[in-house]
Each structure stands twice: as structure tokens, then as C-alpha cells.
Structure 1
Amino acid sequence: MREEEIEKLRGVVRDCVTKHLYSSAIFFADKVAAFTNDPADIYMQAQALFLGRHYRRAYHLLNASQIVLRDLRFRYLAAKCLEELKEWDQCILMLDDAKVDEHGNLNDTKDSNIMYLDKDGEDHEINISSAICFLRGKAYEALENRVQARHWYKAAIKADPLCYEALECLIENHMLTYEEEASLLASLQFGPEDGWLSSFYSCLIKKYDKENVVEAKFRELEKEKCNSNTSDPSFFRTLKTNTDLLACKAEYYHQCGEYQKCFELTSVLLEKDPFHLKSTLVHLAAAMELGHSNELYLMACNLVKDYPQKALSWFAVGCYYYCIKKFAESHRYFSKATSLDGTFPPAWIGYGNAYAAKEEGDQAMSAYRTAARLFPGCHLPTLYIGMEYMRTNSFKLAEQFFMQAKTTCPSDPLVYNELGVHEVYDILSLMWTIRLYYRIFCMYNKAVWWFEKTLAQIPSPLSEMWEPTVVNLAHAYRKLKMYNEAISYYEKALALSTRSVSTYAGLAYAYHLQDNFTAAITYYHKALWLQPDDHFCTEMLSLALADEARGPQN
């Protein structure tokens, strides 16, 4: 057959692949390879077999060719076949022979002869060494060797910063701490035209910087950038409406506790792209915090219908049952999510929380410890372990885990809030003896420090969810006899929520202690209007009325 006719057949194969006519591609690729016996045509045939899901046959074809021993693309495709066949040990052996070191470099340059199926010289190709490192990482993760998996994912992204999948695995599976993520990003060698990508990656990693720093990163990406020396508006490009970037922003809102803002943004995103799974996950988390059970029900139904084999779908079902306080059903579905994907962090956290809600501490601790082991870069498992120790009055152990969570995530206001609550509970455990008065005084000061640190981490203005923290701070100031400061924070709490008996009672008591009986009586009445059977307010109101009737004491 003439060369022109063979080239025409190659074009037919490529066209069949682009049109997803894989049986046709396999048929014609087989004939081209038979006519030419050219390594590039054998590779094309193997590629067609792989895309047509004939993994065993593709692997046999590649392995039978001696070129697999010296060509990286042959070896990589053979390893991809083994990946699809779940033969992880064989996959690693195939890649280990590829002579690609931990930095993504070839150890033997004579083996670097690369062939291409459909090469376009204008396109930038992902470094084959990077792809090999990434596949190594996936194989090790499948074998539950997360240390090696993390090592090779880092090697992949360092070998080629365009290998986004490696960075995604490191971030989504919380394999690195914030400092490690920032250090990795700083070590990447971006091309001069990839400045935007460096900025985008900095938005993807953990957002533990100060509020103004994080928001500056988003603004930089949202700027209009000119791609040509012209004033034509068509040459200006921006990522301002990009779904991935907006999903990052929603994630940041959720992290800051701005759940309503987060929910509104993800609602808009899901109207634009209903199947954007990252937006879906953040949307579920925000709906959970806001108690939107109807939204959770609808999301869960749609996800189970569209993605029955994804952990996210059954996690959504678990979220719905958790929201309506059916905890037995919720932990069953969270468990199903973990069985489908053992590396899905939210499912493990939800699994532990469902047991904790039923006060089944041993099972909750087991889930949290598993999560802490699997996701060393995530502070939530250690935070929840601390909460469980608090529930069982193990205050010293609780403090250790809260401090560990603070080290991992130095900007989560919830961590500081729990440290403040821990100090208050620790005080209550010491109240049995007057000799501990000085220590108690010091601990209230420490509680005030933690609560103020909590509020300092929260973007302004405060949302209603932080009202308990503000009230706790007011209570601590009142205990320290700093009544003006206490009254100020009680009033701030009332600006966030006017339905809290504790706030009105605390404010009334603070005024009472200042001998401002008129103000005290007013707020005792407001507390009793919300909860008429409150024993403390009823008793203190009687005392305040009697004190007011007696008049000022000389």
C-alpha cells in the first residue's frame, strides 16, 4: 500500500477517536499497524484499544513490543492499562523501570526517545515524566501507602506545574499542611506566560492567610488582562465569572463562617453549572450549617440519581438525615460514602459527628482518629477529638488536641472559640474550693483572650452564628467584674440575635451587679418574655424589684 493511502488511514483512525467511534478506530489502527509495523502505529493501535476499554488486549500488545522497554510513552500507556485493571503492584513495577527519579528527571537519557500519536508542535505537552510520577502516586494511594503517594504527587507537580491532577490530589485529600502547601507552590517553576496559573493555585490551597491577603489574591485573578497591544475589548480576558474560581471563593466564605453568603454564591454557581461537584460539596456544607433540610433533600435525590457510585451522593443523603436529626440513618449513609471512597474527608467527619450527636463517643473517636491519620493536613479531626474529650470532662487531653488543631489551622475561629469554652469548663471543674480562686481568675482572663482571638479571625460584619461566642466573652468579662466591657459585648450579641434568653439574662445581671436596678428589671422582663419559666430570671427579678424599692444605700 502506498504511503499516501496509509496516511489517509491514520487520519481515519484519528477522526474515529475524536468522534468516539472506538471499534472503528481499533479496526483501522490494526490494519495500519499490520501494513507498516511502525512503532508509532503500534502505539496508535494500543491507544485505540485503551480508549475502547480493551485494557488487557492493549497491555498485551504493548508488552509484546520490545519498544515498551525503551520508550516512555509505551511504558506509561502499559501502566495505565494496569491501573484500569487494578493491578497496582504490577503498575508500580512497570513505572519503576521507567527510570524517572523522584524529581521527575530521566536517569538514563538514552531511554528518552519519545513517540507521538497525533503531535501538534504548537501545543504545550505535559511532561511525560510528570505523568509517570502522578500515576505512581495513584498506585501507591490505591495500596494505602499515603506517604509514598504524597511523595510522588509532589514529584509530579514539581516536574511540570501544568499537571493539575497531582495538585488536586494533594489538596482535596489534605495530604499537606498549610505550610507544606505554600512551600510546594513556592518551589514550582512556572513559565513566563503562566503567571495567572501561579495565582490560581495560590487560591486553591488552604486559605489561612489574613482576610485582606486572601481577598487580594481573588482580586488579582478577577482583573481584566489584555492579551494584545490593542484597545479592542475582545482582547481583554478575565476569570471573574469562572466557576472554579467562584467555587474557591465560596469555600473561603464557608471557612470564615459566612454560611449565608456562601450558600447564595453556590446557588448561583449551581444554576450556571448544576454538575460542578466542588460547588455541590460546598453548597451541601453551607445548607447543613443553615439547616436547609429541603435543599439537602433535593440535592441528595439528584446526586443519587446522577452519580450513584460517587461518595458525594451518599454523603449528601447523610447530610439530609443529620440535618433532620435522624442520626442513625445519617451515620449509615456516611459509612456508605466512606466505603465507596475511603479518601473522601467530609464523609469521615460526618460519620464521626453522627455518632457524637448520639453520644456514642468510642465510635465517634474511632472515625475522627481514622480521619486524622488519613488527612494529616486537615485540622477538623483533631478539633472534634478535642470536643469529644471536652464532653467527657477530660479537659487536659481536650486542650492538647485543640492546640494541635490550632497549629494545623492557625486561622479557624472555631478552634479559638473551643479553646475559650475549654477554659470556662475547666474553671467550673475547679469551683469546689476557694483556694483555687486566683487560678480561676487567671483562667477567666485566658478565656477572654481566646474569645477575643476568635472574633479577630472572623471577617466583619459578624454573622448570627458567632452570637454564642460574643455572649461567652461577655460572661467571662462579667466574671472578672469588668461590667462595662461585659455590657458592651452583651449589646453586640443582641445586635446579632434578639432571641437569646442567656444574653438578656446576662445583660440584666451585669446591670444588677452595677446597682442599675431599672435597666436590670427591664432586661429580666425581656428574658422572661422569651422564657416565662426561667427560674434564675424570675428569682433575680424579685431581688431587683426589692433592691429598687429600698432605694440607694448610704
Structure 2
Amino acid sequence: MASSQPNMERFLRDWRQDALNKAQYDAAIFIGDKLLALTKDDKDAFWLAQVHFNAGNYTRSHDLLISHNLIGSNPSCRYLAAHCLIRQNNFAEALALLGEATPTHLFTTNANANAKRKTSRTTTRGTRAGSKAPERQPDEVSEEEWSIRRYEAGMCYLRGLCYAKENAFDRAKEAYKNALRIDVQCYEAFTQLVRNSLMSPDEEDEFMQSLDFGSVRAPKGGDDPELQTEPGDYVHMLYQTQLSKYRNPRAFNVAVDSLSTHYGLADNPDILLARAEQLYTQCRFKDALAITTMILKEDRSNFPAYPVHLACLYELKQTNELFLVAHDLADNYPDKACTWLAVGTYYLATSKIADARRYFSKSSMMDATFGPAWIGFAHTFAAEGEHDQAITAYSTAARLFTGTHLPHLFLGMQNHAMNNMTAAEEFLKSAFSLCRTDPLLLNEMGIVLYHQDRLKEATRLFRQALRVADDTGADPHAWLGVRTNLAHAYRRLRLFDEALAEFDAVLRDGGKDAAVLCAKALIRLDQGRPDDAARVLHEALAVNPQDPIATELLNKALEESSAGGLMGALRAGLDPADGGEEVEDVGIAEMERFELELEEKKAAARARLERRTRGRAAATSSSSSGDKGKGVMRGNARGGGRRGGGGYGADEKAESMMEMSDDG
């Protein structure tokens, strides 16, 4: 209906917009109400409801839409009404308003065109090689239709929020994906999928290829075809930086380099954070920490950066810095979940497990979709050896965050610690189905196979873990445990040259280590080279003079070397090729001396045996539990070794000491 006072309408609309731009919501509401009384226009009613929403008056906004019968009139009003209900935590009512039917006719997926889409850029204007012009031109869609499409996508996103609050995460994931199929620029839906780990790395890649980034509307007035496709390429690269850092590191690096070079995003916090996340997955904690520190120095309210920042501080054992960060967050942002994550991380780093558990629990209750809090909560049980409770907590995390492999990995590690090798293998296989390029996962799978005596399969996985770490540019020092495990597997397969090469690489990259040197010495003993073994064991004792394994192996090496010397001299004395009666006389003398020494050793051995027999009889009569000293095997839940008890001799003790290192 045409108004009789168009000039006054224009004046009031300008005034309302000016107040809205200044965040003067009371003024905007006051003027908007007068404008609506003057025009009785549905658009002015919608705008007034929008101002109420921005001011936090969700009930008034919802009631205004109902009173003017706007909810059923168009998608924008229904979207706003549902959003008001969600802000009031009326999720069931919001879902009833939105309905569960998805407007599939609005999907703009273009799988065939995007399957060949590459992430490398070949021009400075932003065109990716191999990209094709979209079959459907977005400019052919009117502005009104485009607006409806975006509100429909927004309603799919709101459906996802409602489903997530009802713990229907599969339906929530599908709703978020539908939002992006309708409007690829619905970033809210995209970030819910990625930050909540609702898709596996392979699923992310497949879904990205199915989206029609060519539907992104380019600015009008340009005839250059490169300018028409550039916005879509830009959005694609922005999304690429937010995906899993395990799946395609090369595509990630290309996207980051292009955004940094062509669009001035080299110092953008989101791009820097993406780089830090990639460095963290490569165990380059110092480099990742340097980036997150720079981000938080510029903006300490950048809450997405805190989980990586806190994890790096924990890994580097910087407890003082953890305390300062946690204290600052608790003072200034007590209503944020990451605040109590920081407090819990500090207590975990200082071994105050009960306090850490309490604050991790508080963080997860404040935000049920905050994955780091759930993982930290489960870690507190694992730290105390409470494997059953840890498994329960990790299982909850696996149910909430279906797209990440980490809960399944930790479940496998817990079952491994409990010696449930079959269950451990199943959980690790589940993790592997979600992510095939995590070196830590490959290492854990290899350890389980090692303990099942499937040495060739274990060796293959250890090699694969090192290859993946090398391909991603990971810090070599971070994967010394994997290389050590590979060397032990080679040793048990009696591939001594390969084992020695790996042990040498560990010593070269990680410095002297007594356990690794003992492993090398054991190989030399197996090769019948006791002199070389003794030299290596002297190096081990120089590193750790009190090492019992090195001491016992050294005694064994010296005994073998001495015996070998006597037999060599004997063979030399009896060899007629070395000629003459003089040599034969020397040989006879050496034989007589050897026989004399042998008789003396036999007598001494019989005496020791009698003393030992009397001592064991006395010990047996005084204790039925047996010796609990160093002669009993005590397997470590994570440090390898045979599990269970039982005595062993020198060879068995050395074999146990050389069991797997799980530190990779």
C-alpha cells in the first residue's frame, strides 16, 4: 500500500539505519516502531523484528513476527523466528517451526565439474588449473530468488543446531551438508562440520569436490572469465585451509601460499592458525607455539587459537606459561569453555589429576561440543591408570566427534595397556579407517602387531609411519620412537644390518641412549662379535653407569671374548700348518694349561651351584611368593616388555629390555 508521506518514510528509514549502524538499538527500535505505524508494511515489521533480535530481545522479536502473521509469508521471517527460539533454547519448538523437509530442488552440487577441480593456481589472478566454467550461471538467478536460497540454507543450518542439541549428530551433519549444497557460502554450517569433527578427512575431501564453488556470485559488470571464477576459487581455498591437516598437506600448502601471496592474508589470524595446526600434527611444537603466541599477542580473545596453544605448552612442559594463560583467562573470560580447558591443562601438566578432571568436566559442560575438553577429561583417567574409566570417556568422545580418529586411537592405546591386543587392534583399525596418514596411529598399530609376533606386518607399518612423517616434513626428532621400534622389529627378524642402521640413525638424531646402545650390543653378541659388543656396552655405561642390563651384557661379552681367545690359542697350537715341533710343544703346553683352568672352573662352578641350591631351599621355606627383586619381569603398560611375571637369565633379561619403545 502506497503511503501518503513518502518523504517521512525515507527520513525515518534513514534514521533507523543510522541508529542501527551505531548499535543504538533503543533508538532504532523507537524509530522503527513509528515507521511501522506509519507504513503498516511487512518489510518494516521484519526490520523491527531484526532490530529486536540484534538487541537480544528474542521473545519480543518472535512475538512481533507472529502478531503480523509473517512467519509463513517468506523464508526470511521463518528463519528469524526459528533463530529467536533457538536463542531461547526452545530447540524442539524451533525444529517444529523449521520442519524436517529439505528443499533438495535448491541443491547446486556440481560433482562432475568439480571432480577435476585442482588446488594449484597457475595465474596471478587466481584461476586454478583444470577448472571449468560452471554449467549454470549464477547471475541468471534473480536477487529475490538468491535471497530465498540463502535463507533456506540458513534454515538447514538451524536444523543442524537443533539436531545437535538432541544428540542426533548424524542428522545434524546431514543438515549442515545440505546447507552448503544450497549455498556454498554458508560458512556457519561449514565451520560446524569442521570444528566439531563430523566428517573424516576422506569424507571432507569427497564433500568438497561435490560442492559447486562456481555458484559463488561474482561482481556484476566484469566480462573477464577469470574474474567470474575467481570468487569461487577464493572461497574454495579459504575452506581448504580449515580442513583436516592429515588428508592432503600439499593442497593445504598451495591454498595457504596462494592466499598469502595474492590476497594479502600472510598475517591473517585464521591462516596463521591453520599453519599452526598443521605444524602441531607434525609434532613441531615449538614452531606451532611461536605462531599461536603471535596470534594471541595481537588478540588474546582469539579463542579458536587456545586449544593448539595450550597443547603446545603442555607438550613442551612450559607449566609457568600455562599458569599465566589460565589465570588471565579465568580473570577475564570465566564464561568461556576454553578458559577451564586451560586451567585443566595446567593441573594435568603439574600432575594434579583430580583438579584437572574437575575443570575439564566443567569445560565440557559449558560446551558439550568442545572436543578438547572431552579428550582432556579422558586423559586424566589414563594418567592414573584407570583404564576402564578412560575407555568410557574416550568412547563418549568417539560418539560425539565421529569424524576424528583420535578417540579410537586412544581407545586402542588403552586396550593395549590392558594387554587386550585383539580389542586394541580393532579400535586402531577403526581409527585407520578414518585417517590413514597419522604417523602416531601407524606406530601404535605396529606396536600391537609386534606384541602379537606379527613382525613383518609391524615392520611394514613402522616404515609407512616414517615415510608419512617424511612426506609431511615432520620433525625427525619427534619420530625417534618409531625408528627405534622399527630397529627392534628388524632385530627380532634377524635382519641385523638393517637393525644396526636404524639404531645408528636414532643415536645420530637423538644423542646417546643406553637402551639403544644395549640393543646394538645384543646384536653384536648374536653375530658372535663379543669384542665389538663390549666396546658398545662401555659407551652405554658411560651414558648410564648404573644400567643393570649394560653391566650384565658386558660381563657376558667379556666371558665370550675370553673363551674365544683360549679356543683361538688352542687351535693355533694344534695347527700343523703352522709347523714344527716347537709349535706342537707350545700347543701341548697350552692344552695342558687350558685343561687345568677348565678343571678349576668346574670345581668353582660346582661350589657355586651347591651354595645356590642351599640358598634357594632356604628362600623357598621362608616365602611362598618367590623373589620380587630384579629377577622378576614387570611389564610396563606403555613402555613395552613382556607382560606378567617370571624369572629369567641373562639372555632373557636382555631380550626383555630390548622390547618395544612406545614413545613414537
Output the TM-score relative to the length of structure 1. Answer: 0.87
Tell me the amino acid that sits aligned with residue 40 of structure 2: N
In structure 2, the residue matched to 1:131 is: 154
Tell me the amino acid that sits aligned with residue 221 of structure 1: L
Matching of residue 195 in structure 1 with residue 227 in structure 2:
no
Within 5 Å, which residues of 2 pair with 1:175-324? 175-190=198-213, 191=216, 192=229, 193-209=231-247, 211-224=249-262, 237-324=263-350
In structure 1, the residue matched to 2:117 is: none
Q: Percent identity?
A: 32
In structure 1, the residue matched to 2:463 is: 452
CA deviation profile, 1:408-457 (whole Å, cap 9, x unmatched)? 11000011110111123233xxxxxxxxxxxxxxx222221121111111
Secondary structure of the corresponding residue to residue 223 of structure 1: helix
Tell me the amino acid that sits aligned with residue 220 of structure 1: S
Tell me the amino acid that sits aligned with residue 86 of structure 1: N
Secondary structure of the corresponding residue to residue 368 of structure 2: coil
Matching of residue 425 in structure 1 with residue 451 in structure 2:
yes
| CA separation of 1:209 and 1:44: change in aligned 2, threshold 3 A | closer
Instruction: Quote the Cα distance in structure 2 between the aligned partners of 1:175 and 1:408.
Output: 11
In structure 1, the residue matched to 2:87 is: 84
CA deviation profile, 1:187-228 (whole Å, cap 9, x unmatched)? 21123222021122122111333544443343333332xxxx
Q: Which piece of structure 1 moves more, 7-16 or 491-500?
A: 491-500
Tell me the amino acid that sits aligned with residue 238 of structure 2: F
- Whose Rg is larger? 2
Tell me the amino acid that sits aligned with residue 463 of structure 2: E
Specify which of 37, 41, 48 is matched with residue 38 of structure 1.
Answer: 41
Specify which of 137, 147, 150 is matched with residue 173 of structure 2.
Answer: 150
Structure 2 stretches lacking a partner, 5+ long:
109-142, 217-228, 569-664
Matching of residue 542 in structure 1 with residue 555 in structure 2:
yes
In structure 2, the residue matched to 1:228 is: none
Secondary structure of the corresponding residue to residue 67 of structure 1: coil
In structure 2, the residue matched to 1:3 is: 6
The answer to whether the 8 Å contact 2:179/2:186 transfers is: yes
The answer to whether the 8 Å contact 1:56/1:81 transfers is: yes
Matching of residue 336 in structure 1 with residue 359 in structure 2:
no
The count of aligned residue pairs is 512
Instruction: Quote the Cα distance in structure 2 between the aligned partners of 1:485 and 1:255.
Output: 28
Secondary structure of the corresponding residue to residue 452 of structure 2: helix
The answer to whether the 8 Å contact 1:420/1:448 transfers is: yes
The answer to whether the 8 Å contact 2:491/2:523 transfers is: yes
In structure 2, the residue matched to 1:116 is: none
Instruction: Quote the Cα distance in structure 2 between the aligned partners of 1:104 and 1:251.
Output: 35
Q: Could you tell me how far 1:360 is from its partner in structure 2?
A: 0.9
Tell me the amino acid that sits aligned with residue 174 of structure 1: S
The answer to whether the 8 Å contact 1:258/1:463 transfers is: no
Instruction: Quote the Cα distance in structure 2 between the aligned partners of 1:194 and 1:38.
Output: 37
RMSD of Structure 2 on Structure 1 (CA): 2.3
In structure 2, the residue matched to 1:392 is: 418
Output the TM-score relative to the length of structure 2. Answer: 0.73
In structure 2, the residue matched to 1:514 is: 527
| CA separation of 1:334 and 1:3: change in aligned 2, threshold 3 A | same
Instruction: Quote the Cα distance in structure 2 between the aligned partners of 1:176 and 1:219.
Output: 25
Matching of residue 493 in structure 1 with residue 496 in structure 2:
no
Matching of residue 325 in structure 1 with residue 351 in structure 2:
yes
Matching of residue 347 in structure 1 with residue 373 in structure 2:
yes
The answer to whether the 8 Å contact 2:107/2:178 transfers is: no
CA deviation profile, 1:215-259 (whole Å, cap 9, x unmatched)? 3343333332xxxxxxxxxxxx33222221121111111112222
Structure 1 stretches lacking a partner, 5+ long:
107-119, 225-236, 428-442
In structure 2, the residue matched to 1:65 is: 68
Matching of residue 416 in structure 1 with residue 442 in structure 2:
yes
In structure 2, the residue matched to 1:529 is: 542
In structure 1, the residue matched to 2:588 is: none
The answer to whether the 8 Å contact 2:387/2:414 transfers is: yes
Q: Could you tell me how far 1:295 is from its partner in structure 2?
A: 2.1
Instruction: Quote the Cα distance in structure 1 between the aligned partners of 2:396 and 2:563.
Output: 63
Q: Could you tell me how far 1:69 is from its partner in structure 2?
A: 1.6
| CA separation of 1:212 and 1:40: change in aligned 2, threshold 3 A | closer
CA deviation profile, 1:436-484 (whole Å, cap 9, x unmatched)? xxxxxxx222221121111111034643232222111111111222222
Instruction: Quote the Cα distance in structure 2 between the aligned partners of 1:526 and 1:321.
Output: 39
